[in-house]
Structure 1
Amino acid sequence: MNRTSCRENIMALTRSKSRNTQKDLHHRKHGAGHYVAWACFILILLVTIFPFFWMLRSSFASNSALITDPGAIWPSETSLDAYRRVFGLTTPEESIAQGGAGASINFWLYLRNSAIVASVITVGQVLFSAMAAYAFARLRWRHRDFVFSIFIAALMVPSIFTAIPNFVLIKDLGLLNTFAGLVLPTFFMTPFAIFFLRQFFLGIPREIDEAAMIDGAGRFKVFFKVIVPMASAPITTLSVLTFINSWNEYFWPLLVGQSENVRVLTVALGIFRSQTPQGSPDWSAMMAATLVAALPIIILFSILGKRIVNSIGFTGIK
């Protein structure tokens, strides 16, 4: 019994010393700089999230409450009237009675148009950019590096400089107010997409291509059966980034897609804001529509955000 008791005392003393050592290490590791960094991180996080909170808060308030008490953190009375107006569940008379502008928005049509345009651009741009990146990274041909430097130089050209030539071209082709006109300028490739995938393709050993070609595979088979599966992570990342950018695009769809049948959600929200029969915009419905329009992007980025960060770091982009 004495030996057992002694052994237990020694074990208890050892555990106590271990805990004290861990506490000392914890205090040494987490100094003042650690807490300052966490405070800065929390502050930046709050600043980033606050616009979304304010948008959510405004969507549940009435327009009269937004005018009488604009600085309230949360409205005293909440309702879903703004969402009902966005989804077309109210008549113009009911909208006016609720404090809305009386204007309407065909939300589901514009949501469908945005989904079509963003999806088509994503599929085309990722496919053709991956093929171009494969040619720049894996194939040997004359003046390859010179042509690639031209592509990189295109990254420094603001998109506003190419908007007018693209508009004239789309107009001459008779593609105004069509999905083709909305999609074509960015359907095939962009310099960033090519550069992004080329950086990853350069890190794949060339012996893999040579082994596949010895087994009888051609260039296209090597690309689709070997390279693309190995590059699934950066391709997924590029797909998400392209979809988000296409979904949020405003200027080009405003120029080309004025027709109701092809109008995307970003343009529709701008037009909805300008429709003010009552003298002021329907801000609560505007916030509700913006929040619903942003939800697909927020959900997509929340699911794949970690993969995006890892892929960008892996390809060497800072």
Structure 2
Amino acid sequence: MRILIVDDSPHHLNMMVYELNKLGCSTSVAQTGAAAIDAVAQEQFDVVMTDIRLKDMTGLELCWHLRTAQGLRHLYLILMIPGSMTEQFHELVEAGADEFLRKPLDWKWTAARLLAASRVVAMQRDLERLATTDALTGALNRRRFLERGAEEFTRSRRYDRPLSVVMLDIDHFKRVNDSHGHATGDDAIRATVRACKETLRACDIVGRLGGEEFAVVMPETTPVNAFTAAQRVRERIAATAVPLPSGGELRLTVSLGLSWMTATDPGIEPLLARADAGLYRAKNAGRNRVEIEPQITLPRSLAG
């Protein structure tokens, strides 16, 4: 488990890092509530263990901030309280804490409670995965894809960074289902997402919007670089063979539309709408091609 320890005592922090590492946990530390909030915003933790008294806020306030900002990813919050505290237990849980441990910590008891916490964390991660991913392909589902796209749009706008979007659709997919059955259609959909993930960068966000339609958000990517990446995806899918139950194999192609963030875009939706327009132009132009919306002049080496 990945644990963030929040305590303003360097001695106690060092002791906890030592003991938690002995238990096989990965640890980071923060000495203030503000630092803890920043750390959680930057990294993914499973558990936060915080002292109830911090320099800049109480542990209760920190729990409230973390619980409010957690979004879909559940954090297991443990408050460390002095042994003299005999009341406020309801307030601890009401503020968002999942559990409290008395200081000084009994490490056998702490190890047992962390084992229990790991089971809750594993269950929460499974629920998060089911809520955010497409069951057939493992790509993000439509809702989560749009959320992540909106997050990347906001980040790109704030830091004045490029952002590109690609929409893609399997060509003649109805013919695949009608000729070979829905099981082969499902294989074709899985193969398309697999080709996207294997071709694109880890930071690129792949989503299944529905049926045979997919989209990709490409952070830090100019239109020309996005076009190159989209062509690689198109070529990879065209080279992919889907085995048929009766023998032989099915070859797929996809049509793609590409767009990018402009100064006047208020959110991710206009980018997707323009990419969708490019996608339909690609289909009308013969399929198995990438079209850019709005159309721009590409370098001669890319124009084909």
Using the size of structure 1 for normalisation, the TM-score is 0.20
State the TM-score, normalizing by the size of structure 2.
0.20
Q: Which has the higher helix share?
A: 1
Higher RCO by CA contacts (8 Å cutoff, separation 6 or greater): 1
Larger strand share, 1 or 2: 2
